Structure 1
Amino acid sequence: MKLTETFLPGSNVIATDYIAEKKNISAFFDYTYQDSTSYEDRYNELMERDYDRTSLTAHLKTFNVKYDANERAMKNIERLNQSDAVTVVAGQQAGVLTGPLYTINKALSVIKLAEEKEEALGVPVIPIFWVAGEDHDYHEVNHIFTYDKNREKKEAVPQKQFTKQALSDIALDKEKLNGWTKEMLQHFGETSYTKDLQEWLEDVTDKSDTFVDHFCFMMAELFSKHGLVLVDSGNTEFRELQVDAFKKMIDNNEAINEAVIKQADQLKEQGYPIGVELDERQANLFAQVKGERILLERNGDGFEGKAIAATFTRDDLLNIAHHHPEELSNNVVTRPIMQDVMFPVLAFVAGPGELAYWALLKPAFRIFDFKMPVIVPRLTFTFVERHIQKHLTDLSLSMEEVLRSGISPFKDNYVSDLDDVGIGGTFKEAKVKVENIHQELLNLTKIVDSGLERYAEKNGRFLQRQLDLLQNKLYSSIEYKHENDLSKFDEIGLSLKPNGAPQERKWNAVYFLNWHGPDFVDRLMELDFTFNEKHKVVIL
């Protein structure tokens, strides 16, 4: 593997300005991630706070042992029990087969940042991956994308889910998942690694009862040897540690929401978009109602379900928090606060979208007498396979330009250059001439029989379509003669920027494990990454 860096424009204005340290966005955060003193100040703040490390680490041990975590991860859990230990956290939903590549990129980022800050501060810094098992959006995590004959296809696990259950509670249909996984490997192509990979994935499925189990077994195998510790926000035992935090969120519910809405107004005044849906009535908590996860809204002094008929007094919710905390869960506003209550969070590793909603949360943290952790933009990657690199060379294309603009403008220019006989210009002139001639016929039709005017107009459009059809046929004939080069353009585009999207949002890690071996992640971990504003390009 070979690492290079390039600058790519940000995917949203908040992330772009945050990375550039613009004052108008920096004011919405407590720390500047590029400044080393931010981590020292945050560490000192955390040392003034109390954490139930004994109960937390006991839970983490039980949870991570379940997923066959490596000794290094278990050692990190023991180290977290030290009073001077802190954490670096990233999180993601439990996507099937680990979901999009950015899940892998997040895990790699949080491990690398923890290592960097442990060396800088001289204290234990533990990488934590927060699995969003409380999330109920099954249709966001039940699929991957494959690419066949230069077409993108969304491939969903053929298991139906009609209720809003938390992912931690959705039972796997193991037979369907195994059959689907085998199909995905067939899409990826047979390699010397495929058989062992399929056996491993079948073993993971056999050991898993839920989608979260499946995700955690895979992530533990890939990353626990590098010290990554997993936690599931939807785990019942973990919720039992959150009783006091839930109570405080219920007691301060209106104040939290008002603080976030006020912050959103200030962001708007600075010209920034608001990336989450806000409402004056929202409670920023979910409750389990009739087996489904339902968002709560305030209604006077009480609460009600937004999408299903259910009402609660404040005392009702406090009673649930005390006796059945597993029936409550957080939304995008309260989840970061819960995370900060449970863990001594030195830094949170955020993607561009996460950065946008963290910009709303500073005053909400103040209600808990906390500052926000240091928010560090995660590392972004593009993995370039050797045959793709060769295609770029063959076509004299700049990888950086393709990553910025996608492949379409370069392919269009290539096709245009192939037209050395002037097809485009000739047909453009012909269409104008035909239109002028037909206008005379249209005028004649109006004189002879105005009732045929629409028919004549339709006739004109038909003639233009026939010219388009012939033009496209001629282009297709030229393209057929250059099919080899044009297929290279398509392969480059689908690999590096599929349908114009970043590779990490579309491709899945199992493709790379299948083609580049089970040690793919281990070899990535050996590279020396710097947390800067640059995009990482890894030549495989």
Structure 2
Amino acid sequence: MIKSTLDPACTGLFSPLFLDYLKQKDSLKDFYHEYPKIENFEKMLKERVFGAEKREVLVRRLWAQYGELEDGPVSRNIQSLIQGNTFTVTTGHQLNLMTGPLYFIYKIVSTIRLAEELKEHYPDYSFVPVYWMASEDHDFAEINHFLFDGKKYVWETDQKGPVGEFYLDKGIQELVSELDFLPGFLKEAYQKGKQLKDAVRKYVHHLFSHKGLVILDGNDKALKQLFIPVIKDDVFHQNANELVNASNVSLEKLGYKTQVFPREINFFYMKNGLRERIIRSNGVFEVINQEIRWQEDELLEEIENFPDRFSPNVVMRPLYQETILPNLAYLGGPAEVAYWFQLKKIFDFYKVGFPFVLPRNFVLITPVNITRKIRKLGLSPCDLFKDVDLLRKQFVKTTSSFDLDLPDEKSRLSGMFDELYDKAGGVDKTLQTSVKAAGTRAQKTLQQVAEKFRKAEEKKKSTEVRRLYEIKETLFPGNTPQERKLNFLQFYLEDDTFIDKLYRFFDPLDFNFIILSQDEIKGGAQKTL
């Protein structure tokens, strides 16, 4: 593969807030701690405090979650977390079917590469890449499918509640048995696991264990016990609601759109296939859509005895993560990066360290046949992200033997009618109105001629135009960026070293958009555009 990079602003895919963060605009500096540059990590390493007792709990629970784990990079990384000079870098994601879209893979590869790069620059410390499983999420419709070879495959089940607890039922077993193209490790993950969280752990471990990736399930009673003070404060005092709303107001005054909106209580109640919001009504706490209610002293006892039943929402999950991990950085997509800025005041209030927030690497892969077509048409990397109709018109215009807008002809026509206008004034000024109207009609007629020229030229270039549409549909299937649509199997089944090759091209501290062009040329070159 050949690597090219381009400015994210060229793609049209990112919000102004995200792009301004990458530009390090002064107006945003109050919404994060430090900008992610390699030299800034030294300060964070000295500041980040994570107590020995928390480390002991974390390591003990990781061993328990993994169960049997042979000696290797993962087990050594887990054991290293007991040491005060070991820190984590983390990404999180939903429990997608068969890994879901490509960017799931990109998130983890970016995180692993960051751990490696930090070790190179700070050899006296250890850095553990962590994948946080979003096992408590209950939006099954977002994760119950994947796309391969243009076909959507769906797991149908009527199970409810946190998806990590879903049993690998008849529906998923039948689906897996029907998919002959699935590699053995994916089939085994779903056929031998008991619950969805087991399957995800198995396939992620298979793909990334050789790089030492540690998989953490935050849905853990012992870990949530570390979070009890925050659970109580949010449930009974609702500080986060006020703090996030204040940040939202500040960001909106700067002209940015906010995407995370807090609740008075930012926890769900989770039990026996249930995950529903907790609300307070007339002095009584209750779970919406359920017959579950508590008085204040009863709820306090429930939190103390069963902290695992209290599931943080999108506002509280990052704080929970940073409470139970010795974490330096979080890597996510553009929307994730942006919403962390809404949370800085919560971290300050609870005196929890705010991590570096990094965008994961963004990637577009052009297959060999598409790479050939791009070169033949002379398209630039920025061209690939343009609307296809705009691109079509641009291509036809720039490759025509003459300017299809007919600017010279329009100029001469305009000059001619200017002369007629002046002559009319010398004869009868009332004629000038007629001359001006005739000039307008003539320009419109000439514009219609220009449009006919363009269509005729487009027809003459029908083969090239068809290739443009083929390129766009391959790279943006259904007008959606490839990395958000296609499954990694699209490339992995052709080359089972696909993920390993990504490590060579990913740079977690370079936030430019990556284009990887598959080519007949062996090896790989690199250039920056």
Considering the TM-score relative to the shorter chain, is it more than 0.5?
yes
What is the alpha-carbon distance in structure 2 between the residues aligned to residue 36 and residue 387 of structure 1? 41
What is the alpha-carbon distance in structure 2 between the residues aligned to residue 531 and residue 314 of structure 1? 47
SS at match of 1:47: coil
Which residue number in structure 2 is paired with residue 498 of structure 1? 477
Which residue number in structure 2 is paired with residue 256 of structure 1? 240
What is the alpha-carbon distance in structure 2 between the residues aligned to residue 300 and residue 374 of structure 1? 41
Over the aligned positions, Cα root-mean-square deviation in angstroms equals 3.2
What is the alpha-carbon distance in structure 2 between the residues aligned to residue 172 and residue 333 of structure 1? 29
What is the alpha-carbon distance in structure 1 between the residues aligned to residue 70 and residue 388 of structure 2? 41
Residues 86 and 290 from structure 1, CA distance in 2 versus in 1: closer, same or farther, beyond 3 angstroms?
closer
Length-normalised TM-score, structure 2: 0.79
Residues 143 and 125 from structure 1, CA distance in 2 versus in 1: closer, same or farther, beyond 3 angstroms?
same
**Higher alpha-carbon deviation: 75-84 or 362-371:** 362-371
What is the alpha-carbon distance in structure 2 between the residues aligned to residue 205 and residue 528 of structure 1? 30
Shift of 1:335: 0.7
Shift of 1:210: 2.2
Aligned partner of 1:143 among 136, 145, 153: 145
- 1:329-377 per-residue CA deviation (whole Å, 9 max, x = no partner) reads 1111111111111101111112211122211111211232123111122
Q: Does structure 1 conserve the Cα–Cα contact (< 8 Å) formed by 2:114 and 2:508?
A: no
Which residue number in structure 2 is paired with residue 407 of structure 1? 388
What is the alpha-carbon distance in structure 1 between the residues aligned to residue 204 and residue 466 of structure 2? 35
What code does the residue aligned with 1:172 have?
L
Residues 181 and 416 from structure 1, CA distance in 2 versus in 1: closer, same or farther, beyond 3 angstroms?
farther
Residues 485 and 145 from structure 1, CA distance in 2 versus in 1: closer, same or farther, beyond 3 angstroms?
farther
Which residue number in structure 1 is paired with residue 199 of structure 2? 214
Q: Does structure 1 conserve the Cα–Cα contact (< 8 Å) formed by 2:80 and 2:86?
A: yes
Which residue number in structure 1 is paired with residue 164 of structure 2? 168
Which residue number in structure 2 is paired with residue 267 of structure 1? 251
Q: Does structure 2 conserve the Cα–Cα contact (< 8 Å) formed by 1:303 and 1:314?
A: yes
1:51-450 correspondence to structure 2 within 5 Å: 51-65=53-67, 71-121=72-122, 122-146=124-148, 148=150, 155-161=152-158, 163=160, 165-173=161-169, 176-179=172-175, 182-183=178-179, 194=181, 197-234=182-219, 238-253=220-235, 254-279=238-263, 282-288=264-270, 291-299=273-281, 301-403=283-385, 405-411=386-392
What code does the residue aligned with 2:215 have?
L
SS at match of 1:52: helix
Which residue number in structure 1 is paired with residue 501 of structure 2? 523
- 1:364-412 per-residue CA deviation (whole Å, 9 max, x = no partner) reads 1123212311112221111222111012123332233113x14343345
Residues 51 and 272 from structure 1, CA distance in 2 versus in 1: closer, same or farther, beyond 3 angstroms?
farther
What is the alpha-carbon distance in structure 1 between the residues aligned to residue 352 and residue 399 of structure 2? 63
Q: Does structure 2 conserve the Cα–Cα contact (< 8 Å) formed by 1:348 and 1:374?
A: yes
Q: Does structure 2 conserve the Cα–Cα contact (< 8 Å) formed by 1:101 and 1:506?
A: yes
What code does the residue aligned with 2:266 have?
N
Shift of 1:123: 0.2
Residues 316 and 494 from structure 1, CA distance in 2 versus in 1: closer, same or farther, beyond 3 angstroms?
farther
Shift of 1:298: 3.1
Which residue number in structure 1 is paired with residue 447 of structure 2? none
What is the alpha-carbon distance in structure 2 between the residues aligned to residue 382 and residue 278 of structure 1? 34
Shift of 1:97: 0.8
What is the alpha-carbon distance in structure 2 between the residues aligned to residue 490 and residue 394 of structure 1? 14
Shift of 1:300: 5.2
Q: Does structure 1 conserve the Cα–Cα contact (< 8 Å) formed by 2:159 and 2:273?
A: no
**Higher alpha-carbon deviation: 330-339 or 70-79:** 70-79
Length-normalised TM-score, structure 1: 0.78
Residues 31 and 490 from structure 1, CA distance in 2 versus in 1: closer, same or farther, beyond 3 angstroms?
same
What is the alpha-carbon distance in structure 1 between the residues aligned to residue 381 and residue 178 of structure 2? 33
- 1:65-116 per-residue CA deviation (whole Å, 9 max, x = no partner) reads 55x6771111111111112111111100010011111111110111111111
- 1:37-73 per-residue CA deviation (whole Å, 9 max, x = no partner) reads 3x2222222236455212211221332355x677111
Q: Does structure 1 conserve the Cα–Cα contact (< 8 Å) formed by 2:167 and 2:194?
A: yes
Q: Does structure 2 conserve the Cα–Cα contact (< 8 Å) formed by 1:128 and 1:231?
A: yes
What is the alpha-carbon distance in structure 1 between the residues aligned to residue 47 and residue 193 of structure 2? 40
Unaligned runs of 5+ in 2: 402-454, 519-529
Residues 50 and 75 from structure 1, CA distance in 2 versus in 1: closer, same or farther, beyond 3 angstroms?
closer
How high is the sequence identity, in percent, across the aligned residues?
Answer: 26
Unaligned runs of 5+ in 1: 186-193, 421-474
How many residue pairs align between the two structures? 464
Q: Does structure 2 conserve the Cα–Cα contact (< 8 Å) formed by 1:283 and 1:296?
A: yes
What is the alpha-carbon distance in structure 1 between the residues aligned to residue 508 and residue 313 of structure 2? 32
Q: Does structure 2 conserve the Cα–Cα contact (< 8 Å) formed by 1:138 and 1:161?
A: no
**Higher alpha-carbon deviation: 303-312 or 215-224:** 303-312
What is the alpha-carbon distance in structure 2 between the residues aligned to residue 219 and residue 171 of structure 1? 18
Residues 175 and 35 from structure 1, CA distance in 2 versus in 1: closer, same or farther, beyond 3 angstroms?
closer
SS at match of 2:266: strand
What is the alpha-carbon distance in structure 2 between the residues aligned to residue 119 and residue 482 of structure 1? 52
* Alignment partner of 1:511 is 2:490: yes
What is the alpha-carbon distance in structure 2 between the residues aligned to residue 161 and residue 487 of structure 1? 43
What is the alpha-carbon distance in structure 2 between the residues aligned to residue 303 and residue 356 of structure 1? 32
Residues 494 and 44 from structure 1, CA distance in 2 versus in 1: closer, same or farther, beyond 3 angstroms?
same
What is the alpha-carbon distance in structure 2 between the residues aligned to residue 529 and residue 374 of structure 1? 16
